[in-house]
Each structure stands twice: as C-alpha cells, then as structure tokens.
Amino acid sequence: MTKTRWRIYTEYVHTRHIAEIVDKYFADYSMFSGIRHYGGDKERHLVIEIISLTVIDEANVIAICQEINTANHQTCCLVISEQVCVMTIADKMRI
C-alpha cells in the first residue's frame, strides 16, 4: 500500500506541548530527537514523522507547523513529504 510520509523538523523546545499540538490532528505519529549540524553549529532538534493515506493531511501538517512555530517562537519548520510503500508483517506466517 502506498502512503505519504510527512517529516516535520523543528527545534527541540516544549516537546510535551508539541505532542499536544500533533495529537489534535493525528492519532498515530512518531517523534525523534537528534543533533542538527548547520553552519558549524550543533543544536538539538525534533523530527515528527506521520504516515498518512489522505491528501487532506497536507492542510493538517501546515496547521501543525504554524502552531509549532508559535509555541517555539521560531520562524519556520522544515517539512518533507514522500510516497512510501507500507506493509505490516505479523510474527507468524500464514500459509
């Protein structure tokens, strides 16, 4: 099955509040923290990953980013979207 993977890159600030923002729009998502290297500087950042099926989710991703920008007092979020093939694999094979 083909779905869209959205990745939102933002500053690592107010992570509990960011989760509350994303919860309003999506029930299923992942959050990862990491170190961003940019222009010789290092900073903590957060990646929110959402796997979705519907086109309308783009509007929700934009709304999430706008709310995060306000909560983090930042200018913008970086958003990446790509089509991915998704499958689930059970612990036992059925023949």
Q: Fill in the DSSP letter of residue 95.
A: -
For residue 90, what pLDDT is reported?
82
The CA distance from 70 to 63, in Å, is 11
Fold for 2-85, please state it: Alpha-Beta Plaits (3.30.70)
DSSP sequence for 3-26: EEEEEEEEESS-HHHHHHHHHTT-
For the chain, which residues make up each domain, given as ranges? 2-85
pLDDT at 49: 97
List, for residues 35-56, the tens digit of each pLDDT value. Answer: 999 899 999 999 999 998 776 7
